[in-house]
Amino acid sequence: MIEIIPFASLGHQKHGWLNARHHFSFANYYNPRRMGQAPLRVWNDDTIKAGTGFPMHPHQDMEIITYIRTGAITHEDNLGNHGRTDAGNIQVMSAGSGIVHSEYNLENEATTLFQIWIETAHTGIEPRWAAKPFPKQEADRLQLMASGRPEHENSNALKIYQDAALWAANSAAGTVLPHILGLDRHAYLVASKGEITVNGMAAEAGDGVRVFNEEKLEIRLQTAGEIVMVDLPVLN
């Protein structure tokens, strides 16, 4: 089963410095039909004005992945971490027993990003933050960027504490990106730019694509674009 969530139907909040679209219920946006998918709880499509951002605030027991689409974000936290993550890369924060952090756009242009929250499988762990650069060239395959799956333990992916994985690709028009999902898994994906089909179902840039009970995925780029996908376990 594949369900397309049109971009125009997403929750929308504007705060002057922040223009946020919510794929799932978040903050003042509530939709009982969109309460997340498996352990995926938040997928926000944020545009942050230059020189602004999120001041220090706390989190606990959540895996928070930030995928930078354009611009960059600068992170700081109460553990002493400080770092800048730019377009095409991710940062991962395992909030664990508790962390306080800020995220600012210190660039001269707006930053666009996906903020993705996944429920942790291990509560109360020591909090951590990590980021790393990934190759930015066009590719004909999905690239693994973050994972907590046992089979990815020795990969170059950033670690999360859940049986989930984040994949991404920046590919040319006509590229076909295959992915073995399995009937016991879910997926949620977005083309941050470009038009795609997923097993023949058409989606435009910004649309959410919910996937259930599909053993294999064939993601076809109708135009040059960028894909971000989370492969998820089914929770009992």
Cα distance between residue 229 and residue 227, in whole Å: 7
Q: Model confidence over 84-133: pLDDT tens digits?
A: 999 999 999 999 999 999 999 999 999 999 999 999 999 999 999 999 88
Number of domains observed in the structure of the chain: 1
Q: Is the pLDDT of residue 138 over 70?
A: no
Q: Is the pLDDT of residue 2 over 90?
A: yes
Q: Model confidence over 31-83: pLDDT tens digits?
A: 999 999 999 999 999 999 999 999 999 999 999 999 999 999 999 999 999 99
Q: What is the mean pLDDT of residues 193-204?
A: 97
What's residue 235's pLDDT? 80
Segments forming the whole domain that contains residue 17: 2-233
Is the pTM above the cut of 0.85? yes
Q: Read off φ and ψ for residue 5, nearest 5 degrees.
A: -105, 105
Q: Model confidence over 155-176: pLDDT tens digits?
A: 999 999 999 999 999 999 999 9
CATH number at residue 192: 2.60.120.10
Q: Model confidence over 32-43: pLDDT tens digits?
A: 999 999 999 999
For residue 32, give the DSSP letter.
T
Give the count of beta carbons closer than 10 Å to the beta carbon of residue 65. Answer: 23
Spatial CB neighbours of 134, under 8 Å, sequence gap ≥ 6? 88, 89, 90, 143, 145, 168
